[in-house]
A and B are shown apart, each in its own frame.
Chain A
Amino acid sequence: MISILRTIWLVFLHAFQRRITVQYPEQKPYLAPRYRGRIVLTRDPDGGERCVACNLCAVACPVGCIALQATEDKTGRRLPEFFRINFSRCIFCGYCEEACPTYAIQLTPDFEMGEFQRKNLVYEKEHLLIDGPGKYPGYNFWRVAGVQIGGKDKGQAAHEEPPVDVHSLMP
């Protein structure tokens, strides 16, 4: 009996407590930096595309919403000819980000992607590419990779020594 009255009283006291509702459209909720939202393709600090079209993200994707086609530019850099994410299929699991060897594909704290037409949820490369490096500001894949591309010969990458002429290696 006392416990019933106590319950009623304690519930009544909640009238004077702060409401925990976030009034969403006016008041934005806090999203952590590593929140898994809209997917973007990032660029190197020098502005080049990071994506090397290795297809690992498309393979890792459990719903198969990523489609891309690899190509090569004149300097020998691999890059996607097209890169397409169907966000009406995407489950925002983040596996693509984990699979990506070049930090190119990243998930961002943005979920406001509502559309009236389903086909508008298919994002092409120009919709996905952003201008900045995303979560890894200093990282430049082509500067640390040992691959030879136009403007960077073998041995010119960071922490890399010039190649050794094996014929000069005498016992």
Chain B
Amino acid sequence: MTSPYPILSILGIVIVALSIAAFLIWVERRLLALWQDRYGPNRTGPFGLLQVVADAIKMFMKEDWIPPFVDKPVFIVAPAIIFVTVLMSFAVLPVAPGIIVSDLNVGLLFFLAMSSLGVYSVVLAGWSSNNKYALVGGLRAAAQMLSYEVFMGLSLMGVVLLTGSFSLPAIVEAQRKIWFVIPQFPGFVLFLIAGLAETRRIPFDLPEAESELVAGYHSEYSGMKFGMFFVGEYMGVTLISSMIAVLFFGGWLGPVLPGLLWLLIKTFLFISFFVLVRAALPRPRFDQLMSWGWKVMLPLALANLLVTGAVILMWGKG
């Protein structure tokens, strides 16, 4: 079921996603400050809300410098890729009953595919920068994404088994009786961790790791190209948070309030959790990250899938 006015919902979702991502710059700084007993930006406008505008103006005014030693076309294309792939993923996100850009019957697979493609942005940025820090950052990103992508997909298969469909609106509808976070709790935890790694946020920010790699894959970027990586990261956070809400917390389902608002509330809760994790946890060593992914998370995801499958086989669905 697609919405009656597809153009409207496309525009609406793009604009809302972009403005949430921009708004997150302010939200993250204020929340981090709250948890570190500070105030954060509170001078520009009411509660510092205009900080977003100030940051945007600054970003546009900066010199858009392309170093002479970079691989120019790739260097320019790389930040656009992350933007495009994340925005494409929003196409399959069911915002409210009937409001979705494209109700693919393989929506979940499309989301996973798009988030895998996002890695290209980081790897290409690191490669084309022709800078050892950027290259190491890009390599780390590639390895990290590969290993966390695997169990990210597997952790969602439990949800798919319970629903019997890859379509995201169908997954939301299947949660009318009970949110999938209860029968699929291990899946939820695994997806949360994989999502953190997927968005390359602290504690999984090894690709940029400013204390080791200057700024990792975007060391050479400045001006709005850097801004696109920045906003792309925030859009990734929004996307993963809303995906958690859709897949495990019943998406638009909820009493009294309209569905759109419920999804926004749930999304915002998970965004806040992402920021909380950033405020609380340090970055692991790279080999720890890899061995965690392959030796702990992957077996857990497989076990979760196995148990879910066995239960469904024995007692049927639901």
Please report A residues at the B interface, Cβ cutoff 8 Å: 4, 7-8, 10-12, 14-15, 17-21, 23
Contacts and interface: CB of A to CB of B under 8 A. Distances in A.
Contacts of B39: 19, 21, 23
Contacts of B281: 4, 7-8
A8 B37 contact: no
A18 B277 contact: no
Given A15-B35, A20-B37, 5 more contacts: A8-B281, A11-B280, A12-B35, A12-B280, A18-B37
A20 B39 CA distance: 9
B172 to A, nearest CB: 28
B34 interface: yes
B194 to A, nearest CB: 16
A23 to B, nearest CB: 7
Interface in B252-303: 276-277, 279-281
Q: How large is the interface on B (under 10, 10 to 19, 20 to 34, 35 or more residues)?
A: 10 to 19
B298 to A, nearest CB: 17
Contacts of B277: 8
B38 interface: yes
A14 B34 CA distance: 7
Given A4-B281, A8-B281, A21 B276 contact: no
Contacts of B37: 14, 17-21
Given A4-B281, A7-B281, A20 B38 contact: yes
Closest 9 CB pairs of A and B: A11-B280, A8-B280, A14-B35, A7-B280, A21-B39, A19-B37, A20-B37, A11-B279, A21-B38
19 contacts: A7-B280, A8-B277, A8-B280, A8-B281, A10-B280, A11-B35, A11-B276, A11-B279, A11-B280, A12-B280, A14-B34, A14-B36, A14-B37, A15-B34, A18-B37, A19-B37, A19-B39, A21-B37, A21-B38
A17 B33 CA distance: 12
A8 B276 contact: yes
Nearest to A4: B281
B276 A19 contact: no
Residue from A12, A17, A18 with most neighbouring chain B CB atoms (10 Å): A12
A138 B12 CA distance: 76
Contacts of A20: 37-38
